[in-house]
Amino acid sequence: MQWIQARVTQETNFYGKCTPVDLVKKYGSPLYVYNERILRERCQDIKRLIKDPDFIVNYSAKANSNLALLKIVKDEGCYVDAMSPGEIHVQLQAGFKPEQILYIGNNVSPAEMEYVINQGIPVSVDSLSQLELYGKVSPYSNVVVRFNTGVGAGHHHKVVTGGDKTKFGIETAFIPEVKAILNKYHLRLSGINQHIGSLFMDTDSYISGVQALLDVAFQFPDLEFIDLGGGFGIPYHKYENEPRLDLAALSEKMSKVLTDWVIQYGKKIKFKVEPGRYLVAECGILLGTVHTIKTNYHTKYVGTDIGFNVLMRPVLYNSHHDIELYRSSNALSRNQEAVTIVGNICESGDIIAADRKLPKIFEEDIIGVLDAGAYGYSMASNYNNRLRPAEVLITSHGDDLLIRRRETLEDLVRHF
Ligand code: LLP
């Protein structure tokens, strides 16, 4: 096999004892491949963010809820966030205890609220109306409230979840109303949380958000924990040597802010964060196969089996993913050329990478879409009645292990 463009995976020994060409031969294409060592390293990185034995990393499992990956995250000592009964179901199967799950609901039905409370899972509510509902279903109990302190950040407006243009959280002006509902139903506010948005590389906005949430916390003297949110970014432009998020600098800034705050609050408290992408994005690569190369009106299209049913991020957010290239034939790529890499879905927007300069690509080449572990499979669909791919883990020993089978045509008619 020729590693035509593969610097990043070669440097990290991503494929262990396997090669991408052999993996596709064995498991088919397209194929999600995850690296266990990298996943464990990322969990350990983020656990060092706050140097306090009570610090908890709640993995936001919407980024990737494959059972095998959840078990690894649990093994690394993280807890989890859930957004739906489905996520709870999978997390319980992965071995998380109810008290290790935080349910961060948004517009949930009374039945769903009851289901979560009956499982013994702590619930965070993010509107006055949902706080009322919680009080009705479970008076005389603990509750968590998600605030929107007005600070927002993110890689795209669709994923900014704090500030004045989003449906999330309770704005701080409503703190008196929150207190009134807590009193009315004899609820104890055991925790507060926020999430300002997804993917920051510059830590200033996160720190502003932390400070704003800590200010809110002063209004509630009996808290057990404060959950500071997720959003920690990863470098998607590795081929341009984009620097990593400086977690050490962030850790230093946060330690100072949190230590000063604890002195003023006068009570020891648990701090949590809820990262999704940071833990799983870089441990995942999506492999696909080039089936057609054509030129239409001066644009050279590389036609693959990676439709946006398999990876939606480029279409939904115009997101960049680096591309690697692997080849089983002896063909040589002496020059680079600009190509547009597309999938097999019948929409013109089905583009993975537009006008990307890469070594000359041939039919049957294997493409690797990097940093696809977060919001890849978890956002995949059956659009065009395409099947969702298999998922394979490269274990810490470098071996390949199937962790979810490819869907079959039968799966498409299972519910009829
Ligand atoms: N906590 C809450 C309440 C969230 O809503 C999210 C993400 C997270 C934590 C984790 O955020 P992260 O650390 O992964 O940035 N599909 C988009 C991202 C959507 C994020 C939704 N909420 C993407 O592919 O970029």
**Percent of the chain beyond pLDDT 70?**
100
d(CA 394, CA 29): 16
Q: How far is the CA of 392 from the centre of ligand 1 (A)?
A: 23
Q: How far is the CA of 60 from the centre of ligand 1 (A)?
A: 7
> In CATH, which of 3.30.70.270, 2.40.37.10, 3.20.20.70, 3.30.1330.60 is domain 2-34+282-413?
2.40.37.10
Which amino acids bring their CB within 6 angstroms of ligand 1?
60, 62-63, 81, 104, 159, 161, 195, 198-199, 230-232, 274-278, 313, 317, 374-375
Name the pTM for this structure. Answer: 0.97
Tens of pLDDT, residue by residue over 208-249, are: 999 999 999 999 999 999 999 999 999 999 999 999 999 999
Which ranges of the chain have pLDDT less than 70?
none
Q: How far is the CA of 70 from the centre of ligand 1 (A)?
A: 16
For ligand 1, atom 9, name the residue with the nearest CA: 230
For ligand 1, atom 22, name the residue with the nearest CA: 198
- How is domain 36-279 classified at the CATH fold level? TIM Barrel (3.20.20)
pLDDT confidence of residue 232: 97
Domain ranges for the chain, please list them: 2-34+282-413, 36-279
43 is catalytic: no
pLDDT confidence of residue 151: 86
pLDDT confidence of residue 153: 86
Give the atom of ligand 1 at the shortest distance from the alpha carbon of 313: 24
Give the atom of ligand 1 at the shortest distance from the alpha carbon of 233: 15
Q: How far is the CA of 276 from the centre of ligand 1 (A)?
A: 6
